[in-house]
């Protein structure tokens, strides 16, 4: 017989979202256990680009986790020198430089993860490492999880399960949402794997400082994705790549090796190590808008599994922190206010509304997704041409994590920048190196303008996300109608649409 343990909240996962959720719920007075499949020594070692902006901003990283202490730790915040993004398309001799409005920061992801776990434990959370969740307990609501801890079966019963298990979590896969008690149906949106991406990264130690030590560098991949060089220090470079799973697969390790071998700065480079192991990791990540609803009876999903990574760049630390905090806060409140022994979607609805409206992160992520849809539709060669043609401030707006300033851009200013770049590309024959036609590029520019216009429409819809579950299904119908209009405008057939 499995050992049985009971808590008010079970948090599955020891990453950013899991720590923010567990620490916040415990700080709110709930009894919380956090389950992590890795050992205590290995926990926190997660595939990541390592960059994060404004770590001490309480709006971006709310809750009891002391981010100022983490930012002051030299083992955690290892480089605050990043002040621009660079896009290199070396085949056509295009380089775009996008300045930051303030510096970005680079963290040692392992040390960052370890300190998060330490702070979470200090908030009163029980942490069980070497614990692999392999099933859920459910009746009218999700009632807990089954797991194996140190090789022995354990059942954790709970009023609420917060699923911070990462992209396409096995916990989410095991929940039978259709059988939960939700009238007329569960609001929870189960995502499709093709809305996610696959990524791989290594950390290399170069013999000499790289010339782009102050920049996050991206380069086009032949599939829908990109290669990155993100300096952690002048000689410690996070190199990786990722692609979208609705495209033909890329042999990630071999493709990255091919790119690195062609660059002189990586001659003689060695691997950074964590716990004596080469710092090589892979991951899946959401490249979509946040889930329409992240809650079900007795269940909330957070972080990447909830679709809160940026659908263009894949940035996800901030989304994990915000959704984790919200789930911990509103989950603990729902349990505290419960008077019938059942945690319904309506009881948890404040989480959805906070993420989309009160905090606004969900809306800001959602309005970047039209550009992802348009880019996937036109193909990578046309995306490369588009990036080469667009002025840098237009590109910066798309890849930023903020609002939709493009919606109020002067159309003449945008057109002027495109024309100037087009004349330069055509005059010296660089455009001819791309496997596309001027007509296709013209259509791609038009699709970009359509995506820009629809981003503004989506922003209005998501800012009106319902404050109660009662109005959700009507809201979803209106948003779905907007989806139809956008897909029709791009000419995407019904069977090829993202949602």
CATH 3.50.50.60 residue spans of the chain = 3-75+109-192+287-364
Task: Give the CATH fold of the 81-103+194-286 domain.
Answer: D-Amino Acid Oxidase; Chain A, domain 2 (3.30.9)
| pLDDT, one tens digit for every residue, the chain (499 residues) | 789 999 999 999 999 999 999 999 999 999 999 999 999 999 999 888 888 888 889 999 999 999 999 989 999 988 778 899 999 999 999 999 988 766 678 889 999 999 999 999 999 999 999 999 999 999 999 999 999 999 999 999 999 999 999 999 999 999 999 999 999 999 999 999 999 999 999 999 999 999 999 999 999 998 889 999 999 999 999 999 999 988 888 899 999 999 999 899 999 999 999 988 899 999 999 999 999 999 999 999 999 999 999 999 999 999 999 999 999 999 999 999 999 999 999 999 999 999 999 999 999 999 999 999 999 999 999 999 999 999 998 898 888 887 665 544 566 677 788 888 888 888 888 989 999 998 999 999 999 999 999 999 999 999 999 999 999 999 999 999 999 999 999 999 999 999 9
CATH node for 3-75+109-192+287-364: 3.50.50.60
Residue 133, CB half-sphere, CA atoms under 13 Å: how many? 30
Distance between the two ends of the chain, CA-based, in angstroms? 43
Q: pTM of the entire structure?
A: 0.95
36, 339 in Cβ contact below 8 A?
no
- Which residues are within 8 A (CB) of 364 and not within 5 positions of it... i.e. 6 or more apart? 401, 402, 403
Place of tokens 């033909």: 248
211, 217 in Cβ contact below 8 A?
no
Alpha carbon distance 286, 303 (integer Å): 9
**Average pLDDT of the chain, as a whole number:** 93
What 8-state DSSP symbol labels residue 367? T
CATH 3.30.9.10 residue spans of the chain = 81-103+194-286
327, 359 in Cβ contact below 8 A?
no
β 236-244/196-205 pair status: antiparallel
CA angle 301, 66, 123 (to 5 degrees): 65
């Amino acid at each position: 017989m499995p050992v049985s343990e009971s808590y008010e909240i079970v948090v599955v996962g020891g990453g950013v979202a899991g720590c923010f959720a567990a620490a916040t719920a415990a700080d709110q007075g709930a009894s919380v256990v956090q389950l992590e499949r890795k050992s205590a020594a290995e926990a926190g070692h997660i595939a990541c680009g390592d960059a994060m902006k404004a770590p001490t901003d309480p709006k971006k990283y709310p809750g009891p986790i002391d981010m100022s202490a983490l930012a002051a730790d030299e083992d955690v915040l290892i480089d605050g020198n990043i002040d621009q993004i660079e896009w290199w398309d070396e085949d056509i001799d295009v380089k775009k430089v996008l300045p930051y409005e303030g510096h970005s920061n680079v963290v040692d992801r392992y040390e960052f993860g370890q300190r998060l776990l330490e702070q979470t434990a200090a908030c009163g959370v029980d942490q069980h490492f070497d614990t692999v969740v392999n099933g859920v307990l459910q009746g009218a609501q999700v009632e807990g999880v089954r797991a194996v801890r140190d090789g022995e079966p354990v059942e954790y019963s709970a009023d609420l399960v917060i699923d911070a298990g990462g992209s396409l979590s096995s916990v989410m896969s095991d929940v039978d949402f259709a059988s939960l008690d939700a009238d007329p149906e569960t609001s929870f949106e189960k995502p499709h794997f093709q809305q996610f991406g696959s990524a791989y990264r290594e950390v290399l130690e170069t013999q000499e400082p790289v010339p782009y030590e102050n920049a996050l560098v991206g380069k086009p991949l032949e599939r829908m994705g990109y290669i990155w060089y993100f300096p952690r220090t002048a000689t410690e470079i996070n190199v990786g790549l990722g692609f979208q799973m609705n495209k033909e697969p890329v042999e990630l390790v071999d493709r990255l090796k091919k790119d690195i071998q062609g660059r002189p700065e990586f001659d003689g480079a060695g691997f950074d190590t964590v716990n004596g192991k080469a710092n090589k990791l892979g991951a899946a990540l959401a490249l979509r808008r946040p889930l329409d609803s992240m809650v079900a009876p007795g269940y909330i999903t957070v972080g990447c599994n909830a679709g809160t990574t940026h659908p263009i760049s894949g940035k996800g630390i901030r989304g994990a922190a915000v959704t984790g905090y919200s789930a911990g806060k509103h989950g603990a409140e729902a349990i505290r206010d419960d008077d019938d022994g059942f945690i319904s979607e309506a009881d948890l609805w404040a989480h959805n509304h906070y993420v989309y409206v009160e905090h606004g992160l969900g809306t800001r992520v959602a309005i970047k997704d039209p550009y992802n849809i348009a880019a996937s539709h036109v193909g990578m060669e046309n995306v490369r041409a588009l990036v080469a043609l667009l002025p840098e401030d237009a590109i910066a707006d798309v890849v930023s994590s903020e609002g939709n300033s493009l919606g109020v851009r002067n159309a003449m200013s945008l057109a002027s920048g495109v024309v100037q770049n087009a004349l330069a590309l055509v005059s010296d024959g660089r455009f001819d190196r791309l496997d596309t036609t001027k007509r296709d590029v013209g259509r791609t520019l038009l699709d970009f303008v359509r995506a820009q216009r629809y981003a503004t429409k989506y922003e209005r819809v998501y800012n009106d996300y319902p404050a109660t579950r009662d109005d959700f299904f009507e809201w979803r119908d209106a948003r779905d109608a907007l989806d139809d209009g956008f897909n029709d405008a791009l000419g995407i057939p019904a069977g090829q649409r993202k949602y």
